[in-house]
Amino acid sequence: MSAIKMKRVLTTPALIAFGLAYMVPLGIFTTYGEVTVLSNGHLPIAYIITLAMIFFTALSYCRMANKLPIAGSAYSYVQHTFGGKIGFLVGWAQILDYLFLPILNYLVLGIYLNEAFPSVPAYVFVLGSLIGVSLLNYLGIKLINSVNFTLIIVQMIFIGLFIFLTLVNVDLTPEAMIKPLQVNANDLSGLMSGAAILCLAFLGFDAIATLAEESNDAQKSLPRAIIWTVLIAGCIFLVVSYCAHLAYPKWSDFIDNKDTASLDVVRQVGNISQLGSNFMYNFFQAAYLTGVFASAMTAQTSVSRIFYAMGREGVLPKQIFYKIHPRFRTPYLSIIFVACFSLLSLVLDLSLVVSMISFGALVAFTFVNLCVIKSYLGNTKKKTFSVLFKYGMLPAIGVLLSLWLWTSLDATAMIVGLVWLAMGFLYLLYLTRGFTRLLPSIDHKELHSIIKD
């Protein structure tokens, strides 16, 4: 058992900052054109639908974070609710989400910075970002917390300026203001397809749960931070998308150029405000890349904590993953491992990485909802309507919505995800010697010590 433990220094605001940094508030512009076209110019309504869908799963993460405030998130919840074998496979799928998100961010940073500075190869920016992110993670969660606040403020300044310039310069007649919110029966199919895509913008609230052992009063601060992060991000996405539609109401212009729609909107706001399209474009690029760097940093933090939890259980080598730095109190060997794995960003394709992330997230979402049903209802003899509603109906809706989102995954995502799960199953066979042995795990005494520490 490791004698050195991580520092419990994170408050609720710090956890919220972590979740928002992971999600990238300016990430709304990543899928802006695609979903605007799908929803026939009703992106704000699509975000309302998405927020309602995500809220059910967020509630389930709150329940489980309160019940099991330990590092590992979905892996730990499933492992202690359904048993080691199912827990391991869910954790293995969860790794797919968390392990490849830093790679996605490094790829984006390399692509954008190479476009801005074409004389510098993309791999230079990728390596520079990877080293910077890894160093910050190595030095401690408190430093990451300070950097998170700074990087989020940069994004919030741009968002505030974008909203202000839009509202003081566009047509605010009742007809113009209601147009993005008016939907009819023909829009419903596109709205639901768009909402499925937008769910990925909310990935990050679940990452907060991985910091349970670095949180002050984790049983209270984690649930609060998860809910507040979802609500704050949802409000940002909703208001920014609404203002974007006011600034550029002719959404049909994006049908043939969905990928650059967000840049067209940003330039339009610069033009109508007389600040100039170049100013807003450059400010957007700087703020967006700042957000991507913050997301890479928090993603590496999260996955290193999942590896730490799996190392503590013994399903990954303890001598590597269950090690805490004596000075910085971080799982430093896990951080180094993630950094080495992230070198794949030098050779992987962007679309393939996105597919991997989607599959892993939906596996985790589905099983966390199931954990609430089993762990709360299964151990409760007095099943009142209130209990059935909170711990039965609400997570059941979360399960159904998560399963529905599976239908939005493309064939590549399913193939890659299933291959990854097959690899995990083979490793599980090795660990259990063909299911003839139990998986290694921590005992109840150690679990109780972790929670009460």
Averaged pLDDT score across all residues of the chain = 88
> What local confidence, expressed as pLDDT, does residue 57 receive?
94
> What local confidence, expressed as pLDDT, does residue 8 receive?
80
Evaluate whether residue 3 is within a structural domain: no
Evaluate whether residue 6 is within a structural domain: no
Evaluate whether residue 147 is within a structural domain: yes
Model confidence at 368, pLDDT cuts 50, 70, 90, reads very high
Nearest to 343 by CA among 99, 114, 139, 97: 99
Nearest to 205 by CA among 78, 350, 365: 365
Nearest to 316 by CA among 338, 298, 301: 338
* Residue 2 confidence (pLDDT) above 60: no
Q: How far apart are CA 12 and CA 441, in angstroms?
A: 30
Evaluate whether residue 7 is within a structural domain: no
Evaluate whether residue 395 is within a structural domain: yes
> What local confidence, expressed as pLDDT, does residue 1 receive?
43
Contact assessment for residue 145 and residue 17, using Cβ atoms and an 8 Å cutoff:
yes
What does the angle CA 446 – CA 223 – CA 402 come to, to the nearest 5 degrees? 100
Evaluate whether residue 1 is within a structural domain: no
Evaluate whether residue 2 is within a structural domain: no
For 381-414, give the DSSP string. Answer: S---HHHHIIIIIHHHHHHHHHHHHHTTS-HHHH
Q: For residue range 118-148, list pLDDT tens digits in order.
A: 899 999 999 999 999 999 999 988 888 888 8
> What local confidence, expressed as pLDDT, does residue 400 receive?
93
> What local confidence, expressed as pLDDT, does residue 104 receive?
86
Which of 11-15, 105-109, 132-136, 348-352 is predicted with the least confidence, judged by mean pLDDT?
A: 348-352
Instruction: Give the burial class of 54: count Cβ atoms within 10 A of its Cβ; 0-12 exposed, 13-18 middle, 19 or more buried.
Output: buried
Give the ranges where 40-140 is alpha helix by DSSP (H).
Answer: 43-67, 74-82, 84-116, 122-139
Q: Which of 32-36, 177-181, 421-425 has the highest mean pLDDT?
A: 421-425
> What local confidence, expressed as pLDDT, does residue 251 receive?
87
Q: For residue range 213-234, list pLDDT tens digits in order.
A: 888 888 999 999 999 999 999 9
Q: For residue range 81-117, list pLDDT tens digits in order.
A: 998 899 999 989 988 888 888 998 898 888 888 878 8
Evaluate whether residue 320 is within a structural domain: yes
CATH number of the domain enclosing 58: 1.20.1740.10
The three-state (H, E, C) secondary structure of 317-348, written as one string: CHHHHCCCCCCCCCCHHHHHHHHHHHHHHHCC
Domain that holds residue 107: 12-452
Q: For residue range 237-282, list pLDDT tens digits in order.
A: 999 999 999 999 988 888 888 877 888 899 999 988 878 778 888 9
Q: For residue range 334-345, list pLDDT tens digits in order.
A: 999 999 999 999
Q: What is the pTM of this model?
A: 0.88
Q: Cβ neighbours of residue 148 under 8 Å, at least 6 residues apart? A: 14, 17, 18, 21, 294, 297, 298
Domain count, the chain: 1
